[in-house]
Structure 1
Amino acid sequence: MDLILPRKNILKLEKVDITNKEWLYLIKNDTRHSLKIEGIVASEKDLKSIIKGNYDQDDEIINYFSTAKHWYSYAIELYKDNEFDLRKATIRQIHKQLLSESSNEKISGGFRNNKVDIYNAPNINPPENDIEFWVENWINYVTYSLEKYNIYQAMARIHNYFEGIHPFNDGNGRTGRIVMNYILLMKGYPNIVIKGLKESDRKEYYKALEKGDIGVNQVFKTTPNKSPQEIDKIINKGNFEYLEQLIKRDLIEAFDNYICMEEQDYYTTEELAKILNKKQDTISKDIRMGRLIAKKQQGKWLIPKKYINVLNNSKSAMEEKIQKEIFCYTAKINDAFNYGVGICLDEAMDLMIAVENQKLLKELKDFLDIQELLKNKETYYNKNVKIRYITSRRQNHNENSLLLAIKISPELFKKIKNKYNYKIIVIQENNEKKWINLGASKL
């Protein structure tokens, strides 16, 4: 189940009010966790005072909060204008703001020109020279990676590579995490919080980076003039699965926090359990697994009523979704006639097509030999399009219906989509998915 895309379809980042106190508290959490990873303790009291405008706390806390607030709000503005702005000057300025008025202010904003070791990173030796060129290479790789991978796969590689370069003498972790969120927001995703308050969370983060460092370290044995494609091939000698899953988990949580900002009506886990005829523990598990949009408030989970169906996590939710929502996943032919969803996979689409009247199939003879299909369960069109007969005829009000799995080109589908009486339903194939509008469906 894709847990990211439905959330991204809901989130309207351009409408986020950056003066909203809830948004500021998300940055507060980011500040607290990120600084703790660096061994800097920021208490709830400190951060609440900073949000209220009281600046009597340590420079590190104030600097991180104000830097994150500035660059995250700027990134949202760039997203509104469909712009992407990532330069060496951006990285240096973020670092400069983080170290402002600190003991390391003299080195703020300047790339190092010396050897440096990374704490808790036994698999990597950062480059000693040409740091400016390595950062340029990283910026080029950012664009390439965002185009090639899904968002959490891309960000795992981007973040690991940046931390491996370790472009500054101090503050690389803080800078890297703010830069990561800056990129996410420019691409329309929420800023995430890498957990760091607990020792177990910090160890998980270090371990995830360590696994990817193996490939990043191989990159540094070459030169910074290699193409993004060459860099990517070398980087992937490392294992990014751990960091991908960590970022994916934190991204889901961030989405839910953003989505819940605008919501007023919620179910408790107890209330939703009764509605869906489930155990309360099952609802809590669904939340932890990301199968429900929810936020935690005063130690209790709250699920926005508006979105209990959007991730299709239960039979009851599915039945309610069919009545109220615009799409669904289903293998039931009856459901197929009400809603449609399509997945586009590069040059072809795998569709399940429910044809409401068997007689109409005769009109599809230009690309479908129905008699051959019924006889052999599958046939081909122009040797490229495979059509598979899935269900037998049903003895009910849809008795003339058939459910077919048809692989056709987007061009061919455009020609026939409004001509025949069918609806498109389920599709789950591979990991790379691109969503599109199909007929009555609207995603």
Structure 2
Amino acid sequence: MVYHEIRNLAGKKHNYLIYNSRAGNKWVKKSKYLGEGYISGEEIKKAKVMFELEIQKQKKFKFLSVRDVAEIEILKQKVLDYFEKAGKSGVESFKEWFSTELTYNSNAIEGNTLSLKDTSLIINDNLTPTGASLREVHEARNHKDAIIFMENYSGDFNEQFINHLHKQITKNIDDENAGRYRKVQVFIRGSDVILPPPEIVPKLVKDVVEWYKQSKKKYHPFELAIITSMKFVSVHPFTDGNGRTSRLIMNFILKKNTYPKINIYVKDRSDYLSAVRHANDKDYLDIINFLIKTIKKNYTHMGTS
């Protein structure tokens, strides 16, 4: 994280940008001098983005190119700028809109037939549209509740978080299995993927969490979020709700690192599932490239394309 620091030297104010990062057990500080006297907030923001990019260019990431990192960092800053200008009511309005879009699309990817309008009526107005099935109504409400849980959760990614998130996704639908690892073999319709047997699921989930812990400083947060979610979904630890849970895991890790959340559109379902299939074989380039395109589309209304 880059922050602005003013130092008083010989009676004059000098502006610096500071970047702190942990290297093993030590903290490493890098600084950049901006000049003396007053510097506007807008100039500071631009300088922060450029300094962040300079630092990122010195790192080598597994899948992201320098250009990818630049686009992601610039998008991140523009979204943060939007939130700052929008004020509290504007931010709340955006969050409600985005949560509705996220709930509609994530559920639709899994076969939920509710329209975007009906989804909004259910989760924002507490109304039940005519003809909506009880299961689909629960799916909409549950996903919104899962987003709220994710937004308010202050801990790190771990098994407790995974199980609680899944419990939110499947409550009132499959309470017996909500937040509990599967005891049976499961299959993905229309896919040649053979999922792990239930006996080794607990160990595999622990492996995913351990990989995340070991990789936090090795991967760009964008890579970390995506690969963690892909490793999780390749295990398919639950009888149902794995896809929805995996996408919220991705967005939780992005949010935790102050990156914008990603809404995967149901219209792109085929491309998304194809990329997920490749990720199941530990080929993550397709899903990362797909999600770079997706996040840019998500925020075009903010002028971030």
Measured in 1, the distance between the counterparts of 2:144 and 2:96 equals: 9
Name the CA shift for 1:35/1:138 in 2 (closer, same or farther; >3 Å). same
In structure 2, give the amino acid aligned to 1:7.
Answer: L
The reply on whether 1:34 has 2:106 as its aligned counterpart is yes
Aligned residues: CA RMSD: 2.4
Gaps of at least 5 residues in structure 2 are: 1-66, 130-136
Equivalent position amino acid for 2:294 in 1: D
Shift of the 255–147 alpha-carbon distance from structure 1 to 2, 3 Å rule, reads farther
1:183 aligned partner: 253
Is 1:213 equivalent to 2:277 in the alignment? Answer: no
Which one of the candidate residues 147, 152, 163 is aligned to 1:74?
152
In the alignment, what sits opposite 2:159?
A: 88
- Tell me which residue corresponds to 1:202: 269
Provide, for residues 399-423 of structure 1, a one-character-per-residue CA deviation record: whole Å limited to 9, x for no partner: xxxxxxxxxxxxxxxxxxxxxxxxx
Matched, 1:98 2:98: no
Taking the aligned partners of 2:233 and 2:189, their CA distance within structure 1 comes to: 11
CA shift in 2, pair 1:140/1:22, >3 Å: same
> Which digits, 9 at most, give the CA deviation of each residue in 1:257-277, with x for residues without a partner?
5xx3xxxxxxxxxxxxxxxxx
Query: In structure 1, what is the Cα distance between the partners aligned to 2:229 and 2:79?
Result: 24
- After superposing on structure 2, the runs of 4+ consecutive aligned residues of structure 1 that deviate more than 6 Å are none
Specify which of 139, 142, 165 is matched with residue 60 of structure 1.
139
- 1:233-281 CA-to-partner distances (Å, cap 9, x unmatched) read xxxxx32111011111222334555xx3xxxxxxxxxxxxxxxxxxxxx
Q: Tell me how far apart the structure 2 counterparts of residues 172 and 153 of structure 1 sit (CA, whole Å).
A: 20
Which of residues 228, 233, 236 in structure 2 aligns to 1:158?
A: 228
Change over 3 Å in CA distance of 1:6–1:175 after alignment to 2 = same
* Deviation at residue 22 of structure 1 after TM alignment: 2.0
Pick aligned residue for 1:132 from 193, 202, 215: 202
Are residues 8 and 28 of structure 1, via their aligned partners in 2, closer, same or farther at CA, if it must alter by over 3 Å? same
In the alignment, which of 65, 73, 92 is matched to residue 5 of structure 1? 73
Secondary structure in 2 aligned to 1:148? coil
Q: Which residue identity does 1:93 align to in structure 2?
A: H
Shift of 1:124: 3.7
Maintained 8 Å contact 1:117/1:126: no
Task: Pick the structure with more helix per residue.
Answer: 2
Q: Compared with structure 1, are the counterparts of its residues 128 and 51 closer, same or farther at alpha carbon in structure 2 (3 Å cutoff)?
A: closer
Q: Which amino acid aligns with 2:285?
A: E
For residues 174 and 24 of structure 1, what CA distance do their matches in structure 2 show? 18
Matched letter for residue 86 of structure 1: F
Letter in 2 for 1:122: D
User: 1:17 and 1:66, CA in 2 relative to 1: closer, same or farther beyond 3 A?
Assistant: farther
**If the length of structure 2 is used for normalisation, what is the TM-score?**
0.67
Q: Which amino acid aligns with 2:147?
A: A
2:49 counterpart residue number: none
Q: How does 1:214-363 map to 2 (within 5 A)?
A: 214=281, 238-256=282-300, 260=302, 293=304
Structure-2 change in CA distance of 1:203 and 1:152 (3 Å): same
Contact 2:78–2:304 (CA under 8 A) maintained in structure 1: no
How far, CA to CA, are the matches of 1:12 and 1:4 in structure 2? 12
> 1:414 is matched with which residue?
none
1:42–1:17 distance in 2 versus 1, CA, 3 Å: farther
Q: Is the 8 A contact 1:131 1:165 kept in 2?
A: yes
User: 1:170: Cα distance to partner?
Assistant: 0.8
- Provide closer, same or farther for how the CA distance between residues 10 and 144 of structure 1 changes in structure 2, counting only shifts above 3 A: farther
Q: CA deviation at 1:167?
A: 0.7
SS at match of 2:71: coil
Quickly say closer, same or farther: Cα 1:51–1:108, change in 2 above 3 A.
Answer: closer
1:181-221 Cα distance to aligned partner (Å, 9 max, x none)? 1111011111111121x2xx21111110111212xxxxxxx
Quick one: which amino acid aligns to residue 195 of structure 1?
Y
Which amino acid is 2:108 matched to?
K
Gap runs ≥5 in structure 1: 79-83, 215-237, 261-291, 295-443
Question: Larger radius of gyration, structure 1 or 2?
Answer: 1
TM-superposed deviation, 1:87: 1.9
1:241/1:30 CA distance change after superposition, 3 Å: same
Deviation at 1:11, TM superposition (A): 3.7
Distance 1:22 1:245 in 2: 26
- Aligned residue pair count: 226
User: What is the distance in 1 between the residues matched to 2:195 and 2:116?
Assistant: 36
**Contact 2:123 2:141 survives alignment (8 Å):** no
Query: 1:99–1:108: 8 Å Cα contact kept in structure 2?
Result: yes
Corresponding residue for residue 174 of structure 1:
244
Helix, strand or coil at the partner of 1:114? coil
Question: 1:54–1:240: structure 2 CA closer, same or farther, 3 Å change rule?
Answer: same
Q: Deviations over 1:271-325 (max 9, x none)?
A: xxxxxxxxxxxxxxxxxxxxx625xxxxxxxxxxxxxxxxxxxxxxxxxxxxxxx
Give the C-alpha shift of residue 153 in structure 1.
Answer: 2.9
Distance (Å, rounded) in 2 between the aligned partners of 1:43 and 1:8: 29
Q: Is the 8 A contact 2:196 2:235 kept in 1?
A: yes
Separation of aligned partners in 2, 1:120 and 1:157: 23
